[in-house]
Structure 1
């Protein structure tokens, strides 16, 4: 298998405030992340995410079943977002909380059950207007195919703010569906974009 990441040094310092943005965007442009559908911890499933320099920026470590909460962390293990299934929704709706809070959600993400909505996979709506991940007052729509690693997040103006793409490695070595790219526009929160990826994996993985 081709090398997924060149470095294992955390990109964020332990002294940084938990919940702060941990992805540095160069020259105000989009950031490209490499998502590895694997935990670096033995015996765990999850995600490991690297920036363009190969530095670790996000991680998700799942012990056993993901029936409870999933926590998106920075490279030092500080909780950024907590994702929980909404009760009685049978996994169709998830709630996104800031940090380790599980009381006041900032977003809800609902899987689209009908295929007659223009190819939409899910819809994300804000639950409150304030908070670190409140990157906009409106909702978002996710369209495409997560199974093919080809989907986008659109804002209310139909502008793509984040995209999941297949990763084309140097040298032509196949990486498979467990390694792919997440491209995030400069005005969208990379933490929130990664949360969407995690939930798509729960809904369609």
Structure 2
């Protein structure tokens, strides 16, 4: 009974700690300049391109106690995306909206010769209970893209860390990710035009007050690029480089 009460007390304390930290982050998000109320993912029609971006605060912490994951907060202080997962290197990660509805499913490629950091991305929730690559049916749905970590002896000569390819490995690349996820400094660029469509940045705690470190950072999404997909790329980078 004593151990149970101690566990219960610790659980309540952790919940209170999470709530206090969330309120602090939500309050900070509401004070971000040039981020007034607008629908998530809807571009702002301003003359300044920076003001047209959608900015999120990404907290590398799950809403559930004793669970790994992410909590994503918008400029109004609302939770818009969340991830709850168990284990260090899961085979599957599901990105949910703030209400817990599946947005995208990310799954490691199960083919025999696939590299451990090859991932397929599916729309919505897509469960596959096949035990291994020997399963005759990989998924009920067709993947929308494949994301691959860059490897090889020329890795140091390039700033690229991952590629987003069409449907399956070996197909044409659509986006390239450059920078350093460990330092929370990455850009997602369209392969053909080299235009930046999303960016991961360090988040400042307050003007002149330093930063949050790597557990809390910003995700900036350019107009026309899907916000949920941008967050999915953050999740995959975390799996590849954490």
Q: Same fold (TM over 0.5)?
A: yes
Matches within 5 A, 1:20-59: 23-25=40-42, 27-28=44-45, 29-59=52-82
Q: CA deviation at 1:169?
A: 1.5
Change (3 A) 1:167 1:56: same
Q: Classify the secondary structure of the residue corresponding to 2:44.
A: helix
Residue matched to 2:206: 170
Residue matched to 1:141: 176
Give the gaps of 5 or more residues in structure 2. Answer: 1-20, 29-38, 46-51, 127-138
Q: CA deviation at 1:71?
A: 0.2
Comparing both structures, which one devotes a greater share of its residues to strand? 1
CA distance in 1, matches of 2:103, 2:144: 12
Comparing both structures, which one devotes a greater share of its residues to helix? 2
Mapped contact 1:165–1:181 kept (Cα < 8 A):
yes
2:124 to 82, 90, 99: 99
Matches within 5 A, 1:1-205: 3-6=24-27, 23-25=40-42, 27-28=44-45, 29-87=52-110, 88=112, 89-101=114-126, 102=139, 103-114=141-152, 115-116=155-156, 118-127=158-167, 139-155=174-190, 156-170=192-206, 172=209, 174-205=211-242
Mapped contact 2:106–2:121 kept (Cα < 8 A):
yes
Q: Flag the structure with larger Rg.
A: 2
Query: Which structure's relative contact order is higher, taking Cα pairs within 8 Å and 6+ residues apart?
Result: 1
Q: CA deviation at 1:204?
A: 0.5
CA distance in 2, matches of 1:141, 1:117: 15
What's the CA shift string for 1:105-148, capped at 9, x where partnerless? 001001000315621100001219xxxxxxxx960000000001
Q: CA deviation at 1:67?
A: 2.3
Q: CA deviation at 1:53?
A: 1.2
TM-score w.r.t. the length of structure 2 is 0.70
Q: CA deviation at 1:174?
A: 3.9
CA RMSD of aligned residues (A): 2.2
Stretches (4+) displaced over 6 A: none
TM-score w.r.t. the length of structure 1 is 0.82
Of 164-173 and 42-51, more deviation after overlay is shown by 164-173
Q: CA deviation at 1:24?
A: 4.0
Change (3 A) 1:26 1:109: closer
Give the gaps of 5 or more residues in structure 1. Answer: 8-21, 129-136
